[in-house]
Amino acid sequence: MVLTAHVFAPAWKRLRGDYGVTVFFVLSGFLITRLLLREEHDTGGISLPAFYVRRAFRLLPIYYLILAVYCVLILGIGLYPEARQKFAYALPWYLLYLQEIPFFSKPEAPPPFYQSWSLGIEEKFYMVWPLVAFRVLRSRNARIALATGAAVSFSAARLVFQGRYIFPYAAISVGCLSALLYDAPGIRNRLDAWVSSWRAFLVFLTWPILHVAIAWLSLPFAIRLAADLAYPLSIAFVILATLRSSQLASLFSFAPLALLGRYSYCMYLIHVLVRRAVERILHLRTGEGNGLLVLLLMLLFSTAGAAVLHYTIESRFREVGRRIAASWKGKEKAPDTRRPTLVVEDGL
C-alpha cells in the first residue's frame, strides 16, 4: 500500500496507499503491547533497559546507514540538486530522530527521505508507552483507561490543523487498547465469540469495504472524517479475527508475505530512493502512463536491496541487541548466590 502511494501515479490516487501507514501503526501498538503483557505475565514485570536496547539495535543502525547514503548522494555527489536545500533543512531533524517535524511542516513539498516520518512517531511511542503503562501504571483498568483516553484525544486532534503532528498516535493507541482488552479474560471471551468461525471473514471484510468507501465514494466531510477515525478500528478487528481464524492466519502466514514482512523495514527505508533511481536510469515518468512499470521495478529492486541489507546489517545488529538485552535481564533476575549469614537468635 505504501509503495503504491509513493509511485505518485495520478490514476492511483484513489487507491489511498497512504493508509498502509495506519495499518502499520495499529499493528505496532497491538504487537508491542502484547509482547510487554506476555513478558509481564511470564516474569512478573518488564525490563525497560532490555526493551529499549532491543528497539535501538533493531531500528537505528540501518536507519542511520540509509540516512548517510542520502547525505552522500545529495550533499556529497550533488544528485537531485533541486532537493538539496530542503534536505539540508531536514537533516538536523533526521539526525535527532524527529523526522515527522519537517514532513508535517510542509507536507505538500516534503524533503527527501520524507517517508521516515512515521519512524519518529514510532520512536516516541516506544519511549513513552512502556514506561507509563507498565511502570507507572500497574492495573489493567488504569491501562485501558489510558489507552482509551489516548485514542479519543489523538483522534480529536484530527479536527485541528496543528493536530497533524500527534494525530497518528490515535492508530497506535487503538492497537494498544485492542491488546489490553484482549488480555482481559472476560472481554477476550466475548471478542472471540464475535470474531470466531464464519464471522471472522465478515469482520475481515470491514477493512476493504471501509477502505473502498473512503477512497472511491464522494462522501460529505463529516462522514469521511468519521470513516477516517473508524479505519484503525477496522484494522484492530482484522487482527482479532486473524487470531481466531486458522484460515486467515494461514493466509497471512503465506511464505512470500512472511518474507516481505521480514524485509519490510529495509524496504520502507530504501524504496523511494530506488524509485528515483528507476525513473532516472530508465527515463520513466509515472505521469506518462508508466506507473505500473515503476511500481513493479521498485518492488523488485527494493526487495532485493532489502534482502541484502537485512542479512548483512539489520539481522546482525538485531541479534547483538537481543544478546545485550538477554544479559541485562539475566543480571536483573539473577538469584543472590552470596553465602548466607547464619543468625542465632533465641537459642535457634
Query: For residue 252, how far is the Cα from the chain centroid?
Result: 17
On whether the CB atoms of residues 92 and 66 are closer than 8 A, the answer is no
pLDDT of 342: 36
Q: Which amino acid would we find at residue 103?
A: F
CB half-sphere exposure, 38, CA atoms < 13 A: 8
Residue 347 belongs to a domain: no
pLDDT of 98: 95
Sequence-distant (≥ 6) Cβ neighbours of residue 146 within 8 angstroms: 132, 133, 137
Residue 335 belongs to a domain: no
Q: Average pLDDT in the 60-65 region?
A: 96
pLDDT of residue 334 exceeding 70: no
pLDDT of 191: 82
Task: Give the Å distances, CA to CA, from 258 to 35, 83, 263.
Answer: 19, 35, 9
pLDDT of 282: 86
Q: Average pLDDT in the 72-99 region?
A: 93
Residue 340 belongs to a domain: no
Residue 199 belongs to a domain: no
Q: Average pLDDT in the 126-132 region?
A: 96
Least confident among 22-26, 213-217, 267-271, 312-316: 213-217
* Sign (positive or negative) of CA dihedral 40, 43, 49, 53: negative
The overall average pLDDT reported for the chain is 88
Looking up cell 552470596 gives 338
Q: Average pLDDT in the 144-160 region?
A: 93
Residue 348 belongs to a domain: no
Residue 197 belongs to a domain: no
Instruction: Give the confidence band of 62 by pLDDT, cuts at 50, 70, 90.
Output: very high
pLDDT of 331: 62
pLDDT of 336: 46
State pTM to two decimals.
Answer: 0.90
Q: Average pLDDT in the 118-134 region?
A: 95
231 closest CA partner among 144, 164, 168: 168
**Cα distance from N-terminal residue to C-terminal residue, the chain:** 73
Identify the domain containing residue 96 by its residue range.
Answer: 2-180+204-326
pLDDT of 109: 85
Residue 256 belongs to a domain: yes
Residue 212 belongs to a domain: yes
Please calculate the CA angle 13-98-322 and round it to the nearest 5 degrees. Answer: 100
Q: How many domains is the chain built from?
A: 1
CB count within 10 Å of CB 100 equals 23
Who has greater pLDDT, 191 or 32? 32
